[in-house]
Structure 1
Amino acid sequence: MDAAPDPYAPGHWSLRAGSKVGAVAVTVPGCEPVTVRITPKVPVVRLFFLLGYSPVHDRSWREGEVEVAEHHNLVPALAHAVERQMDRALRRGLLQGYKTAEESLLVLRGRLREAEQMRRRFGAVLPVEAAYDEFTTDIAENRILRTAVERLLRLPGVPRDVRRRLLYQRARLADVTAIVRGQPLPDWLPTRLNARYHHALRLARAVLDGISAEHAPGGLRIDGFLFDMNKLFEDFVSAALREALQAMGSGHTVRLQAPHHLDEAATIRMKPDFVLYGPDGSPCAVVDAKYKAEKRGGYPDADLYQMLAYCTALGLREGHLVYAKGNAPHAAHRVRHAGIIIHQHALDLDQDPAGLLMEVEELAQQLMNSPSA
């Protein structure tokens, strides 16, 4: 986001969001805190649903709380997002840390709780009331994640595949104690050591607060956030499309952002968002996602030229551009003297997640039916 003094209005600033979307608390000395809210240029009914498909960096979150809308009766979209971020957080194993434990032991460990020993044992030598620091996975961060999983598993309407993945996350956290309903959530501090947990913990907290957060003014307060919608949309299309193709069990493989070269000397690099390879290892489809809405004059011609270059270098007869909004769900252009067809697809982001994923599945089916597949 760019900010500059307004040359025509002294004391005012001009803000340009670019591709950013989010809500940020801004504090100006001597003034009340102000929330700057940037809405998507293309309506998105469930921003946090898309978030589940993107490995958003921790720098996307901002200091200072902002208000977002609440949706009571947690939506499956949030379950989707929480499970994905949790999987990323736990992929390298569970965090461990020191936790103070108090027990009655036959052998002294740690330090003696003298007052408790006198009160409970009346001068007896054994057992001893001891307190010690235990290095364990049963720490605040893991307990919050485990409790969020338990809460989501009790929700009606969570899709079967999401529920199956949540059960897998619960198995990972089997040795962690869930928080009893009504008890306060344990405190945790963002540090370098738990950095990979940050995003999952923030979404888990929304679950445990009993709501689903969405990007609109409301009564829920969460940390400020600022996401790049270009990257968010690109990640969603690539990840959701890959999952749809994997569900078909076709034996095809997918590579995201894989480097290729346009020229034979391998000096001009190109990185398509999504390339589908057949069982023999040869490319059979290419997709590029563009967070753009179709204007009156159509989509930018430069996108077509870029896709034509991808198809030519990969030896494909068809290419697919996927946009965030369009006047029609699909259009196709046959390139003169080349025999290449460039498809332009428009996803409707302003709908519930089930409908959006259905459109992605239809696109996946079209990729499988392409001549090269």
Structure 2
Amino acid sequence: MKQIIIREAYDWLYLHDEEPRSLTQVEWEQLLLFLEQEYRNENIVEYSNKKLRFINLVGVIQLKTVRIEILPKINLIEQDDTLNRRALLNMLAVTKKLPVELGEQTLSKFEKVDLIHILAQLYIKELSKTLHRGIYREYRLKEENIPTLKGRLLVSDHIRRNAFGSVNAYCEFDDLTPNIYVNQVLKAALKKLFPYVKQISLKTDMLKGLALLEDVQDVLFDSTTIGQYELNRQNTHYDSSIQLAHAILQSNSMTSGKDNQIAFSFLFKMNDLYEGYIGEVMKMIIHGTSYEVWSQHAEKRLLENIHSGRENILLKPDFVISDKDSIPRTIIDTKWKSVVVNTRFNYKQGDIYQMYAYVTAYKTAEKCILLYPRTDEDKLLPKWLVPDSHPEKYIEVHQVRLDNLQATVEDVRMLLSDIFTDSVETSVVQ
């Protein structure tokens, strides 16, 4: 199977029948059909002459004959994608888009493995632990024509079915069965991933899982039919595997008829993922202090309409950090793009105007921060003083490392160090 790795908003994917890292005409048409079905009217692809690249979208798209892995562009050195994949896994784990804990050792193990095999390995590991502790069963009311009396005899149905000499009895009884929602979900996720796994040992483990779930009915689930399920004391050991199964089943897929899956994807909007990740990191740092972090804060307006008397132009910064008296002190907006490209600054003037609006509307705010992902280019970043501000206000540009949680925590904590007293101890669960 052909595998192509590209970086979001950076590398182009080409249509070319002869080039090994390009798409054939059939693959190209399958990809376009998938994108039209799943992302119609969304600005996630930039097209040019026989080439395209993905904007604000990362993850993996699996077609019948090609796997396309889209990674964030943290490392701009084309020969090495490990840092990009590592950063993506870190953000997915912290935001619970990939609902497992990934420590430093696990990240190092997976940084050279494609996303579908990572997903499959994580899932089969959790599933094996779950099923090893026992397959959960529940009682279900069942009607059946059986040779022995069991439960309650359904007289009218019994006469209708067995009036002519049958030795069976048509009964209604409680049956302890594994054919229940949680097991159906586990099996459906296994079967969804199975066709795309090529590693022999992993495929063998998945076949073992399917064998253990042999008595469970095949049910087709997707993002619209997957449901909420409350675990109880008897099946709490299902928690991790059910969460992963839900993530797999809620991913996008495309079929050309029942059970004829021709595309599977595990994709994420990168700006939302980055913002959510920074939000989780800030919660970790703020936890246990008297400070608060507000996401998508919407309490300020830029202007007021003098004719209607109504306030207009809502201001909604990504994060507002308030002190113990709920007074806003620091404003942070995340920007998913490289702030330095080829040694030149890449921020937009409109972003600076937006920061100026924030820092003036929030009278008590001392600074606004534009927070970009850190790439492999380093440069002294701008810091502006807002004229005639008393006390002084600043608009700053900063970068943050994303390859592991501890590095991100250190960078964000440094940004917020001036709002904490020296006596405040912050802790992060690793």
Q: TM-score, normalised by structure 1?
A: 0.56
SS in 2 for 1:285: strand
Structure 1 residue 342 corresponds to structure 2 residue 387: no
Question: Is residue 92–residue 273 contact of structure 2 (8 Å, CA) maintained in 1?
Answer: yes
SS in 2 for 1:235: helix
Structure 1 residue 140 corresponds to structure 2 residue 192: no
SS in 2 for 1:68: helix
Structure 1 residue 268 corresponds to structure 2 residue 308: no
- Partner Cα distance (2:321, 2:96) in 1: 21
Give 1:304 deviation, angstroms: 2.5
Aligned length: 263
Give 1:270 deviation, angstroms: 1.6
Alignment map for 1:206-225 (pairs within 5 Å): 223-225=264-266
- Report the CA distance shift for 1:73/1:114 in structure 2 as closer, same or farther (over 3 A): closer
Give 1:320 deviation, angstroms: 1.7
**Structural RMSD (CA):** 4.6
Structure 1 residue 227 corresponds to structure 2 residue 271: no
Question: Is residue 257–residue 272 contact of structure 1 (8 Å, CA) maintained in 2?
Answer: yes
- Report the CA distance shift for 1:111/1:184 in structure 2 as closer, same or farther (over 3 A): closer
Amino acid paired to 2:401: D
Question: Is residue 293–residue 320 contact of structure 2 (8 Å, CA) maintained in 1?
Answer: yes
- Partner Cα distance (2:372, 2:48) in 1: 34
Q: Pick from 384, 406, 409: which aligns with 1:357?
A: 409
Question: Is residue 69–residue 115 contact of structure 2 (8 Å, CA) maintained in 1?
Answer: no
Amino acid paired to 1:2: V
Question: Is residue 263–residue 313 contact of structure 1 (8 Å, CA) maintained in 2?
Answer: no
- Report the CA distance shift for 1:290/1:101 in structure 2 as closer, same or farther (over 3 A): same
- Report the CA distance shift for 1:114/1:204 in structure 2 as closer, same or farther (over 3 A): same
- Partner Cα distance (1:17, 1:329) in 2: 29
Identity %: 21
- Report the CA distance shift for 1:290/1:48 in structure 2 as closer, same or farther (over 3 A): same
Amino acid paired to 2:89: F
- Partner Cα distance (1:41, 1:19) in 2: 11
Question: Is residue 25–residue 36 contact of structure 1 (8 Å, CA) maintained in 2?
Answer: yes
- Partner Cα distance (1:225, 1:142) in 2: 21
* Long gaps (5+) in structure 1: 7-12, 27-31, 57-65, 80-98, 103-108, 119-127, 146-178, 209-221
- Partner Cα distance (2:385, 2:326) in 1: 26
Residue in structure 2 matched with residue 16 of structure 1 by the alignment: 53
Question: Is residue 324–residue 348 contact of structure 1 (8 Å, CA) maintained in 2?
Answer: yes
Amino acid paired to 1:356: T
Question: Is residue 242–residue 254 contact of structure 1 (8 Å, CA) maintained in 2?
Answer: yes
Structure 1 residue 237 corresponds to structure 2 residue 278: yes
| Structure with greater contact order relative to length (CA < 8 Å, sep ≥ 6) | 1
- Partner Cα distance (1:135, 1:182) in 2: 16
Q: TM-score, normalised by structure 2?
A: 0.49
Structure 1 residue 286 corresponds to structure 2 residue 339: no
Give 1:207 deviation, angstroms: 12
Cα shift readout 1:52-99 (whole Å, capped 9, x = no counterpart): 45486xxxxxxxxx963549996xxx99xxxxxxxxxxxxxxxxxxx8
Q: Between Structure 1 and Structure 2, whose CA radius of gyration is higher?
A: 2
Cα shift readout 1:306-341 (whole Å, capped 9, x = no counterpart): 212111100122122211015258763323333321
SS in 2 for 1:262: strand
- Report the CA distance shift for 1:226/1:130 in structure 2 as closer, same or farther (over 3 A): same
Question: Is residue 302–residue 313 contact of structure 2 (8 Å, CA) maintained in 1?
Answer: yes
- Partner Cα distance (1:141, 1:360) in 2: 41
- Report the CA distance shift for 1:110/1:138 in structure 2 as closer, same or farther (over 3 A): closer
Q: Pick from 116, 132, 156: which aligns with 1:68?
A: 116
Q: Pick from 350, 354, 366: which aligns with 1:317?
A: 366
* Long gaps (5+) in structure 2: 1-43, 76-83, 98-113, 127-136, 151-169, 188-207, 230-239, 249-262, 306-310, 423-430
SS in 2 for 1:41: coil
Structure 1 residue 2 corresponds to structure 2 residue 50: no
Question: Is residue 308–residue 342 contact of structure 1 (8 Å, CA) maintained in 2?
Answer: yes
SS in 1 for 2:387: coil
- Partner Cα distance (1:46, 1:309) in 2: 32
- Report the CA distance shift for 1:203/1:299 in structure 2 as closer, same or farther (over 3 A): farther
- Report the CA distance shift for 1:255/1:70 in structure 2 as closer, same or farther (over 3 A): closer
Q: Pick from 161, 183, 203: which aligns with 2:212?
A: 183
Amino acid paired to 1:48: L
